Structure 1
Amino acid sequence: MAPARIPPCKVCSKKDAGKYRCPVDHVDYCSVACFKQHKASGCSSENEYEPPPLPLLPVVADEPVDDERPTKRLKDLHWPAEPNPALWEDPLQRDDVKPLRGFELEAVATSPELRALLASPAFQTTLTRLTALPPSAREPSLRLLLGLPPLPAGDLYRPEPSHRFSSSAPLSSSDLNAELELRVDGRK
């Protein structure tokens, strides 16, 4: 790959010298002297500022979720009681897990991304396998799925020696499914 070319200075017209760019109107210049001359000769900060045009990106239309099942209206759902606002103000409880507030629950309920994720067969299979695990194996399996390090307890899951020093990249879905099948069958 060829190195990026340096543009010419727009003030003194020196080739391959425009190392710097005016923060206001994005004119390339090569030195402090050129910058001062540019400001004195009418930088657009004194004139009307027009931001540089944004690059044209392809517009991606949101694809509707292919789900013909009827949905309930939000006001018909049985919402839990609003949690006590003092939970978020107490500095001693700032790191504790807190219940979702009404607006957070509404955001979850109306999210098309979450609906699509929950409708995904691969996600449903993963959830089914996780719920089939014994309670003691769920947290280590979740940590494995999320790419978190295993817990440092004695009898919990330990990665195989071949995986112990591998990259921290998450496993592929086929590797995760195989790992979950082994755990469900009790072979590991």
Structure 2
Amino acid sequence: MKVCGVCEEQVPKYRCPTCKVRYCSLSCYKKHKDGCVPELLAPPSAPLNGTQSISEWTVEELLGEDSESDRVPLQRLKQLGESEELKALLCNPHLRQLLLTVDKAENKAEIMKTAMQEPLFVEFADHCLKIAEPVENEDVTH
């Protein structure tokens, strides 16, 4: 069983949205937030907040039960990275800019509505979904 990444005494119930360190209470979060380092800026093997590194947590611990239905099997994620169609689409600077805009947006739902009006973005999303969530015995005649 893991312990709080701040006090190292209690079982953590929460996860920092910035660096993913686990903490047990509001007081621990308040102590943690001043020294919080975003996950992407922390050196890969350096402990976050001086205690535990993100690599010590399993995927199950990081995602939690509430994320179960949103998981994509690792094999399918690898297929996304190996897809020649997706690689070809990602060569398009307009698509890359759309993806950066979606990634940086505060209101992701609203920006996705706008992005889905772009045929290139829809084509990209369709290719991703075909790999991540393939339809069994897809009816090609519709």
State TM-score, norm by structure 1: 0.25
Larger helix proportion of the pair: 2
State TM-score, norm by structure 2: 0.32
Higher relative contact order (CA 8 A, sep 6+): 2
Larger Rg: 1
